Chain A
């Protein structure tokens, strides 16, 4: 018991390293004239640096150039008056299916579909980036013929262009068999992690001796190659891995693995996390949270169990970082009245209903979601130098009456409510 406590303290002193930032896009051709767009007069919710009343957000090409209350606008700037509106970073769907891909086969880069109607619908909900899972799932009526699960990618809702659509494509190791595979598949996962740990120790020893000038003449080291490479990257903190764990027993099994190998883990489909929030917090695991999950406790359960609308608030108190996700991870028109990615901010509202503070709720659909996807240096907050992915709301983000009025991706205005066949006719409170 004491040993376990000491171990957990030791573990907590070695936090996983943050993900390496993705490579910046190639610089634009020098002769191309910069395009400036200014959103002027709105309340700017930066997420990471507070709220600025009556501020200006100046976009230059595909980046946020300036944020402030007195920003000089270069000649030729397209000025958009957003007085009385809220300006926020684009929302991030930490998990999504069936959006922006034309096929689930092959490489994601080859399957990108920026003309898909689902992209347009995601934009109408202010969603500008998603973590898309391709392959896997499906399975048909009898569960047969399902494609093997493939690592996901972070894609932008860049309607009409492939340029800048693929934001990140981590070759995440798939740890799912640890939870639901056969015993041999489960222990394949563990074997890979053990091999990766041995490789990592070898590499660290090599680097250490090199730094001390103690290498033998001509000594080299063989780097890990696939399929082991992603596991090494995981243990190095360069990648994260997603693990599906809903009930207490599943969470325990997942946390055992995370605590033993100390990697950046994202727990998905979490139901009973609120009953063991501290343990999740100690393991520094991230959580994908659907506030609307409704699961009863087992009959005559002697302990707290089942789902709770307070889960987000309880996890917050335990220091667990989470992203909020809707019950349906697609972007169909069914979401106009809630339940999928096109009304992502309503998930925040429901978490607030369960006791969560609004700031954390906002982070859970922006910067924390970005962090979970490993793209927080590019998107997720309004900061100078970050990608120009911006939404304009006509009211409080967590008011159910609020609509997205405009969505920008990579500096381009790609959605306007007044022109949308789905939303222009909805007058709302006005």
Chain B
């Protein structure tokens, strides 16, 4: 009898947890646009989404007519709450963890939850093979609650010149030896440092390659030539100058991470929209917020809209702040689009997300409202 009462109570609690947002215009990013549909949130996930979805019995129904749903923004290159920019002398320290730098009691992690960015990939400090980035969701105050992935991607900074290339060669060589040793005898355990590098080379751990300019891209590919048998998962990050190598990046369907800025061609007033040039060439572009400040995070879509104004296709722009950065960090099974089964991280706008007139009305992270419009 007592047991039954307990089960009933649990069921009621679960039913209370279910929310159905109805009559939304939905930009799923990966599965097109739904003019008017329902999103069911349950247990922190998107339980159902679509035009014909009926709210389940017992669900709390939120009438959202006039609002536009968009996935939470994924910020793939952040130092939120970390001191200074990520720097340091060139070295090979793949075991270095960004999560070790995290101070969860800072209020930025609470404030950031109200900006529209719902996933941050925090980059470790260092240069050369710098270490592993961690993925967090803002709105919590303990490390365990913030961190969703301790080892999201490997950060490799390739400064121009010999030391950066030498560090990379050294890392790749060690990784290959570890992979080959593993093939010969699966029991062979590489040391901690080499194990991370091997994961990267095999494509099990994605990597971000930070470059000064397009020439270093050519140098990187030159260093990688002897490793053509391996298929590491890469994203290239750098200045707007990377557009100069658009053909090479496009033909490889490479992923490129940029700041959302319209640049000027050297010594001229000629406008260069690097994101548009790279998209046209066939590359997959990801865009970061303009900065890690609260203002910068809030201005993300405004900046992205400017790129659309100057030629970036709208679809590529919307993907560039959601699913592409999620893929970069290997988080695309959880975040980056509005699909059934994914985390319930969503933004509700009063109009089109790229319109400067639209207001961010509601934010859900893991199905919980962190910003509620009045």
User: Does B165 sit within 8 A of A, measured CB to CB?
Assistant: yes
Q: Is B372 an interface residue (CB 8 A)?
A: no
Inter-chain contact A112/B215, CB cutoff 8 Å: yes
**Least CB separation from A159: chain B residue:** B244
Query: Is B162 engaged at the interface, CB distance under 8 Å to the other chain?
Result: yes
Cβ distance A413 to chain B, nearest Cβ, rounded Å: 15
Per-position binary interface string of chain B over residues 60-101, scored 1 when its CB falls under 8 Å from any chain A CB and 0 otherwise: 000000000000000000000000000000000000000000
B216 near A102: Cβ-Cβ < 8 Å: yes
Residues on B with beta carbons closer than 8 Å to the beta carbon of A115: 213-215, 241, 244-245
Q: How far is the CA of A162 from the CA of B217 in the complex (A)?
A: 10
10 contacts between A and B (CB under 8 A): A102-B215, A102-B216, A103-B159, A106-B163, A110-B161, A112-B215, A113-B160, A113-B213, A115-B215, A160-B245
In the complex formed, the residue of A with least CB distance to B243 is: A115
Give the interface size class of chain B. Answer: 20 to 34
Q: Is B267 an interface residue (CB 8 A)?
A: yes
What are the 8 closest A-B residue pairs judged by CB atoms, nearest first? A106-B162, A102-B160, A113-B215, A103-B161, A106-B161, A110-B162, A115-B214, A103-B160
A residues less than 8 Å from B251 (CB atoms): none
Within 8 A of A (CB), among B205-254: 212-216, 218-219, 222, 241, 244-245
CB <8 Å contact, A161 and B218: yes
Of A105, A111, A422, which is within 8 A of B267 by CB? A422
- In the complex formed, the residue of A with least CB distance to B160 is A102
Name the residue of chain B whose CB is nearest to the CB of A112: B215
Give A126 to B242 CA distance when docked, in angstroms: 26
A41 within 8 A of B: no
Tell whether, in the assembled complex, residue A111 and residue B161 are in contact, meaning their CB atoms are under 8 Å apart. Answer: yes
Dominant secondary structure at the B interface: helix
Give the contacting residue for A102; candidates B213, B265, B270; CB below 8 A: B213
Is B186's CB within 8 Å of the partner chain A?
Answer: no
Distance between Cα atoms of A224 and B288 in the complex (Å):
55
Q: Is the Cβ of B163 less than 8 Å from the Cβ of A162?
A: no
A114: B residues at CB distance < 8 A = 215, 218
Does B32 sit at the interface, judged by CB under 8 A? no
Residues of A within 8 A of B213 (CB): 102, 113, 115
Q: Please report the C-alpha to C-alpha distance between residue A383 and residue B216 in the assembled complex, in whole angstroms.
A: 34
CA distance A422 to B212 in the complex (A): 25
**B:234-288 near A, CB below 8 Å:** 241, 244-245, 265-268, 270
- Main secondary structure on chain A at its contact with chain B? loop
Contact pick for B165, options A110, A117, A160, A162, CB 8 Å: A110
Chain A, 134-162, CB within 8 A of any chain B CB: 160-162
Most B CB atoms within 10 A — which of A115, A117, A161, A421? A115
A427 adjacent to chain B (CB < 8 Å): no
Report B158-174 CB contacts with A as 1/0, cut-off 8 Å: 01111101000000000
CB of A333 within 8 A of chain B?
A: yes
Q: Which residues of A contact B162 (CB under 8 A)?
A: 105-107, 110-111
A407 to B160, CA, bound (A): 28
* CB-CB contacts below 8 Å: A333-347 with B: 333
Chain A 93-111 interface mask (CB, 8 Å, partner B; 1/0): 0000000001101110011
Residues of A in contact with B, size category: 10 to 19
CA of A422 to CA of B265, assembled, Å: 11
Residue pair A160, B244 in contact (C-beta under 8 Å): yes
For residue B221, which residue of chain A has the nearest CB? Answer: A162
For B222, what are the chain A residues with a Cβ–Cβ distance below 8 Å?
162
Which of B161, B215, B218, B265 lies at the interface centre, i.e. has the most chain A CB atoms within 10 A of its CB? B215
Q: What residues of B have a CB within 8 angstroms of the CB of A103 in the complex?
A: 159-161
> Could you tell me the distance between the alpha carbons of A115 and B159 in the complex, rounded to whole angstroms?
16
In the complex, whether A171 has a CB less than 8 A from a CB of chain B is no
How distant is the Cα of A378 from the Cα of B216 in the complex, in angstroms? 27
> Cβ of A116 < 8 Å from any Cβ of B?
yes
- Which one, B159, B212, B219, B266, contacts A117 given CB within 8 A? B266
> Which of B163, B212, B216, B218: most chain A Cβ within 10 A?
B218
- A-chain residues with CB within 8 Å of residue B161 when the two chains form the complex: 102-103, 105-107, 110-111
Given contacts A102-B215, A162-B222, A421-B265, 16 further A-B contacts (CB under 8 A): A105-B161, A105-B162, A110-B161, A110-B165, A110-B219, A112-B215, A113-B213, A113-B215, A114-B215, A114-B218, A115-B213, A115-B214, A160-B244, A161-B218, A421-B267, A421-B268
- Whole-angstrom distance between the Cβ of B272 and the nearest chain A Cβ: 11
Bound together, the chains give a CA A208 to CA B139 distance in angstroms of: 84
Closest to A100 in B: B215
| Measured CA separation A110–B166 after assembly (Å) | 10
CB distance from A236 to the nearest CB of B (A): 29
A182-205 interface with B by 8 A CB criterion: none
Residue of A nearest to B242 (CB): A115
The residue on A at minimum CB distance from B245 is A115
B281 nearest CB across to chain A (Å): 13
| Closest beta carbon of chain B to A73's beta carbon, Å | 28
Q: Is the CB of B218 within 8 A of A162?
A: yes
A229–B357 Cα distance when bound, in Å, is 72
Nearest-CB residue, chain B, relative to A422: B267
Residue numbers in B under 8 Å from A333 (CB-CB) = 267
* Contact yes or no, B160 A111, CB < 8 A: yes
The listed residue with most B CB atoms (<10 A of its CB), out of A107, A110, A421, A422, is A110
CA distance A116 to B214 in the complex (A): 9
B214 surroundings in chain A (CB, below 8 A): 115
* Chain A, residue nearest B222 (CB): A162
Chain B residues in 8 Å Cβ range of A162: 215, 218-219, 222
